Amino acid sequence: MDIYVHFPVGVSPVLLKKPQNGPDRSVGQEETEEIKMSDEVVLDLAEAEALAMRACLAAGAGEATARSLVDATLSAAIYGPAVLGFPHMVDYLDSFREGRINGDPTPTRARPYPAFFAADADRGIAQLGFDLAFDDLVAAARNFGLAVFTQTNSYTTGELGYYVRRLAGEGIVGIAATNANAMVVAKAGGPAVYSTNPMAFGFPLGEGALPLIIDQASSATAYVNIVAAAAEGRAILQGWAVDETGKDTQDAARALGGALLPFGGRKGANVALMVEMLSAGLSGGPWSLDTPSFREGSASPAVGLTIIAMMPGRTGDGLVERARRQADRLQSLGVFVPGVSVSGIDYPRPATEGLKVPRAVFEAVVKIAGA
């Protein structure tokens, strides 16, 4: 069945399709497998959209900002990690009200090179600047074979897989990178120098198939997983984080007072540095060490975001179909293909089942919406 999520005027709607044949579930961030969404409220898509819009507007977002954020939230709730749907929206709503997000920004965009776009989000949400540039980015990628979008001065980007999923919906390969405030050490015992510095990659697999979507942090797990575990009183896995003294901990609450560890030790730290240079370095945004918290205070994190859009070969090359066959081949050999493979994780959720929202999150959004 086809599910349409409406996008702002001037931005092509994204058709979120279940594959006609094969699995009907996909995964964005593999490290969110440990998140258990319990005590849930089930909303249909229209109810969820209406509630999210009311909450955004009540929190101080302008119409365009609210529309962009709701679209991204619904996309994450349907196709991305559940924790980055409505649970993360609460961070946005709080940040509208506490001044970390400009609810009615005027993003600007320059084009210093034919296929290079440099944007300033004016302390607004990252999704709005991307939406406004989307048509031009897609057109440039189709014309030149490759195009780059960079942006600074925005709130944290939310689900990074959203951006490459949008491009994959246009038949375009995408890579995205972003940073935020420092919360990851390069090695145990050292200071926090990087954010979780996520990266995302999307590759279209053709009509009727979900795209391959890799969306993962450079840290051993995503920060939102630590927050969720602390809120639910759950232990975290060893090797995820250190406490305030720099010692390994499985206590989520103590991890929030300490820092996260990179995945794979020094190699993960190198990936975090690469993402830092792609996002903050290329956009001119603040380094993670200089970025304000996205959950406290009134200062905007003002983070950087870089997205690279690439055409999958020349028209008629058949590279998309070839990639789809390879994804099928890998799955037949037991390989998990992110975004495509069947998984025990609860997403994407079939529209007939509705969107599952943790009750505490639902109640927080309803309270802000004034419903």
Pair 97, 235 in one domain: no
DSSP 262: B
Pair 183, 225 in one domain: no
Domain C-terminal end among 261, 289, 324:
261
Residue 85 has pLDDT above 60, yes or no: yes
Pair 112, 79 in one domain: yes
pTM value?
A: 0.85
Domain C-terminal end among 211, 231, 261:
261
pLDDT given for residue 342 in this prediction: 53
Rounded CA gap, 318 and 296, in Å?
Answer: 49
Pair 197, 58 in one domain: yes
Q: How many domains does the chain have?
A: 2
Three-state SS letters, 37-54: CCCEEEECHHHHHHHHHH
Please report, for the domain that includes residue 340, its CATH number.
3.30.1370.60
Per-residue pLDDT, averaged over 219-241, amounts to 90
Q: Token pair for residue 340? A: 């495509």
Strand-pair category, 303-310 with 173-178: antiparallel
- Categorize the per-residue pLDDT at 295 as very low, low, confident or very high, splitting at 50, 70 and 90: confident
DSSP 32: G
Pair 32, 129 in one domain: yes
Contacts of 363 (CB under 8 A, 6+ apart): none
Beta bridge partners of 120: 108, 152
Pair 255, 134 in one domain: no
DSSP 280: I
Task: Say which residue the tokens 């506490």 belong to.
Answer: 98
Pair 285, 189 in one domain: yes
Rounded to the nearest integer, the mean pLDDT of the chain is 87
Q: Token pair for residue 237? A: 């896995």
Closest CA to 99 of 61, 64, 132, 126: 61
194 phi and psi, to 5 degrees? Answer: -125, 160
Pair 276, 235 in one domain: no
Please report, for the domain that includes residue 244, its CATH number.
3.30.60.50
Based on C-alpha coordinates, what's the Rg of the chain? Answer: 19
- Going through 21-100 in order, the beta strands assigned E by DSSP cover 40-43
Pair 255, 325 in one domain: no
Contacts of 266 (CB under 8 A, 6+ apart): 186, 187
pLDDT given for residue 27 in this prediction: 31
Pair 283, 239 in one domain: no
Per-residue pLDDT, averaged over 224-243, amounts to 91
The answer to whether 236 and 258 have CB atoms below 8 angstroms apart is: no
Closest CA to 13 of 29, 2, 27: 2
3 state SS of 177: strand
Pair 247, 266 in one domain: no
Domain coverage including residue 243: 220-261
- Categorize the per-residue pLDDT at 345 as very low, low, confident or very high, splitting at 50, 70 and 90: very low
3 state SS of 155: coil
Task: Please state, as a whole number, how many other Cβ atoms lie within 10 Å of the Cβ of residue 196.
Answer: 28
Rounded CA gap, 143 and 121, in Å?
Answer: 25
3 phi and psi, to 5 degrees? Answer: -120, 120
Among 80-89, 144-153, 239-248, the minimum mean pLDDT is found in 80-89
Domain C-terminal end among 203, 235, 261:
261
- Categorize the per-residue pLDDT at 320 as very low, low, confident or very high, splitting at 50, 70 and 90: very high
Residue 221 has pLDDT above 60, yes or no: yes
Pair 148, 51 in one domain: yes
Closest CA to 21 of 165, 212, 210: 210
| C-alpha triplet 6, 127, 70: angle, nearest 5° | 45
The answer to whether 175 and 308 have CB atoms below 8 angstroms apart is: yes
